[in-house]
Amino acid sequence: MTPGLTWGVRPSERTASLPCDGLCPRPGAQADRAISIAAPPPIVFSWLCQLRVAPYSYDMLDNLGRRSPRERNPELVRLEVGQRFMTVFALRSFIDCQHITLRSKGVAVTYEVRPEEAGSRLHARVLFAGPQPLAHLLALGDLVMMRKQLLTLKSLAEREAAATF
């Protein structure tokens, strides 16, 4: 296995079929990242919808130094195909409280939320088009950014869930 292609995923997640698979049938690299979150799927999904306005990763690098919002905007859960996410992605498909699938030039990604015990499991798959060496290099850089993104979303969702219950 090439370094950077997985983080936190279980074997069944690595082989699961996700909506982004149909957007990039022969990727140069497939990167899977996953995390367990102590919050119910509707809260986790609502935080995913916040990706419409900010990346929730390293804000100095990928948000022009602006801090990603720490309070949810409830209007952002109103999704429509074609909406912009994180500036460079377009929403290709979604099922409320289950997944969002995004596409940008050369990249397709699905964020899938599913129930897990008393909380949720968030699985993200990123497909990189292009030649394998370049795609693997992009996946390695993406690991650093997406790991931070998933940890930030986990923290925010768990904070909201704790305040709700």
pLDDT grade for 159, boundaries at 50, 70 and 90:
very high
The reported pLDDT for the residue numbered 25 is 85
Selection from 111, 138, 114, 4 nearest residue 49 by Cα: 111
pLDDT at 165: 67
What pLDDT, on the 0 to 100 scale, is given for residue 93?
98
**E strand or H helix at 124, and its extent?**
strand 119-128
What is the Cα–Cα distance from 40 to 136, expressed in whole angstroms? 33
User: What digits encode the pLDDT tens for the residues 101-146?
Assistant: 999 999 999 999 999 999 999 999 999 998 999 899 999 989 999 9
> How confident is residue 4, by pLDDT bands cut at 50, 70 and 90?
confident
**Residue 66: pLDDT over 80:** no
Partnered with residue 121 across adjacent β-strands are 36, 114
Report the Cα–Cα distance between both ends of the chain, in Å, rounded: 41
